[in-house]
Amino acid sequence: MSELRWNPVRREWVIMATHRMDRTLHPPRDHCPLCPTVPGGFETEIPRPDFEVAVFENRFPSLHLQPPPPDVAGTLLSPIAPAEGVCEVVVYTPEHEGSLATLPFKRVVQLIYVWQERYREISLRKGIRYILIFENRGAAVGVTLTHPHGQIYAFPFVPPVPALELSSARAYREETGRCLFCDLLAEERADGRRIIMESKGWVAFVPFAARYSFEVHLYSRRCLASLPELRDSEVEELAKMLQKIVGGYDRLFEAPFPYLMILHQAPVQCGGGEERGHLHFEFYPPLRDRDKLKYLAGCEQGAGTFINDAAPEEKAAQLRAALGTNADG
């Protein structure tokens, strides 16, 4: 079964994907499906002996280019839709070990160009409304393949989190005529205590109302809607910032630091005047301290309200120390 089901209470589509129950979990080192295929050896997802950055369709996709017809009939209250969309895997390197921090700088630049290219290409497909580029890193967030990689999901709807962000931005623009994200960024820079790093094109900070102890947001300084608008200099700076953030994370506890890295951009096929948002990355790390995990329990999932055990100002200082930056960036 692969279909979208509507929950009229939470007003959300839920993706039903029963074929995913049996997906590959923690394969042994010599059966990594994201490594290159050595001639005569285990056939991985990438039928080549070498590559730089590889992109392919997820073998256990939640969303499909040609979705099967829904399994059951929906109702007026609880409709069903085909699970249309795209699920791609982006393999950062042929090397089995490593991270955004340890990749050669040029490879990270190349990865960003790949993101741009995929964003452009997928945007043109019929029925796609939102493209989410993300990376899940670490067993603590459920990652089953350790080979450095990220993912791209393209949805036939604007999902709840970006929809909420865009609706806030829309209301703010109607009220003030300005971009909510630009104004938030200006406030963070004016305050300064939560800034962890700045470059000409980018600012990284622990947000004022962080949900996670070590949450970091990375905003483009220019009010850009999506990746293809980046100048080459901004791409290179972005590569540096991403490498530094992940490197800083890994130095915090001298161990690979688990996180979710999310890229929020404009919806695609925007209708007339739809709010386009402001390109930014959000890092959600589940560790609230060394060996202490943050769980999303009753308060977070039943109320939707997060409890953060740490002061964002202190965590920003700790991250600046790990990054070797000072309060001025």
CB of 216 to a second copy, least distance (A): 14
Cα–Cα separations (whole angstroms), residue 225 to 22, 166, 228, 270, 312? 37, 11, 9, 11, 27
Which of positions 279-318 make contact with a second copy (CB under 8 A)? 282, 284, 288-289, 292-299, 301-314
Q: Smallest Cα–Cα separation from 239: which of 102, 55, 112?
A: 112
Residues 232-266: b if buried by 16+ CB within 10 A, e if exposed: eebbbbbbebbbbbbbbbbbbeeebbbbbbbbbbb
Expressed in angstroms, the distance from the first to the final Cα of the chain is 50
Please give the helix or strand (H or E) that residue 74 lies within, else none.
none
Among 264, 267, 268, 276, binds a second copy (CB under 8 A): 264
Kindly tell me which of 37 and 306 has the beta carbon lying closer to a second copy: 306
Q: By CB under 8 A, tell whether 26 contacts a second copy.
A: no
Binding mask 170-199 for a second copy (x = CB under 8 A): --x-------xx-xx--x------------
3 state SS of 311: coil
Alpha-carbon distance of 38 to 44, in angstroms, equals 9
CB of 104 to a second copy, least distance (A): 25
CB of 1 to a second copy, least distance (A): 5
CB of 111 to a second copy, least distance (A): 16
149 is catalytic: yes
Which of positions 98-157 make contact with a second copy (CB under 8 A)? 130, 132, 134-136, 141-143, 151, 153, 155
Residues with catalytic function = 149
